Each structure stands twice: as C-alpha cells, then as structure tokens.
Amino acid sequence: MTQTHPAAPRAPVDLRSDTVTHPTAAMYERMRTAPIGDDGLDGDPTVRELEAYVAMQLGKEAGLFVPSCTMANLLAVLAQTQRNEQVVLESAAHMYTSERGAATFTGSFYLGVPGSDGAMDLNRLEEALQSGGHRLKTALVTMETSHNNAAGAVLPLDHMQAVHGMARAAGAPVHLDGARLYNAAVAL
C-alpha cells in the first residue's frame, strides 16, 4: 500500500516589498542571455521592449524605465505639480513615510490622509480636496498598491475607483505608486 501525502501548503506571497522576492534560476538565465545595448546611445533593446510592453498594458502613449520606484514617484510628482501645491496620499504610504524628502526638490507639500489597510479614509480625502481660503491647491492624489506599510495589502478596486473619481472631480490627477502593480493585479 502506498502512502499519499497531502500537498505541502504553499507559502503566502509576500507583497510588502519588491525586494523580498528573489529571481528564479530561469529569471537569472534570461538576464544572463538578454541582448544588451547602450542606454546612452541607442538604448537597450530589452529596456525599450519593457517600456513598450508596459505602456501597452496600461494604455499609455509611452513608458519610461527608471532604476527605482522612488525615482518614478519623484518624476510623477515633478511632472504633475507646481511649486506650493499639495500632494495627497495615505499617511502610511511609502511615498509619505520614506520619500517625503522629495518635496524639497519639487517645492510641493505632502499631506498624509489617515486610512486603514492602506486605503485612505474617503471623508478625510474629501476634506483634503477642498480648496480656497488658506488651503493649498491639491495638485495630485496618490495611491499605493500593493501597500508596503500595510503588510502588502492590495487596495480594493472599488476604493481605487472612488479615490480616482473624487480626485478627478476636484481637478487633480491621480498617480499610482505601483512598484508591485502586477502582484496587486494577480491578487485582485
């Protein structure tokens, strides 16, 4: 009689950070054999392919590869805000807790909105979006998913749509810190 063993339980996927997952042997092999170009002259073919693929996936005109999500977030703020404007984000968001020093370069002010499991309190967001009086103009609203400081929580799609709708109604664009965007998409 052969004895059968139940399948070993799979370890949960850790979505706290993109640095806790290590490449597989196949990934290392692909890196080793990838064609290499000169990014200072004609560009790297693999990077150009990645930029085009991500732009197509996200419905964007073009993509731009940068070496870190911190740099991507900084570029997003620089491209969408002016000096003395406000960037609103969930108060435990990585952009707020770890990248807020970027405000020094952008001349913008970061306002953290309390939330739960990485999701902004929508009533507090509504208050932050109101303008006039002595309030700064909210020029950008950001979200993070999966949410680094909320144990890798993935924002519910209906929450993201609500934040987007509120921001757009107030005339503010929305930026997604999507360092783990594909992880979040799989989780959803």
Helix/strand/coil for 91: coil
Q: Which CATH architecture has domain 69-187?
A: 3-Layer(aba) Sandwich (3.40)
Q: pLDDT per residue over 2-48, tens digit each?
A: 555 566 676 666 666 667 777 888 988 988 998 888 767 778 888 89
Average confidence (pLDDT) over 130-147: 87
Place of tokens 């990934």: 27
Question: Tokens representing 83?
Answer: 């000096």
Q: pLDDT per residue over 42-86, tens digit each?
A: 788 888 999 999 999 999 999 999 988 889 999 999 999 999 999
Q: What is the pTM of this model?
A: 0.81
| Residues 63 and 37: beta-carbon distance below 8 Å | no
Instruction: Kindly state the DSSP code that residue 113 receives in the 8-state scheme.
Output: E
Rounded CA gap, 108 and 135, in Å?
Answer: 13
Could you report how far apart the first and last alpha carbons of the chain are, in Å? Answer: 42
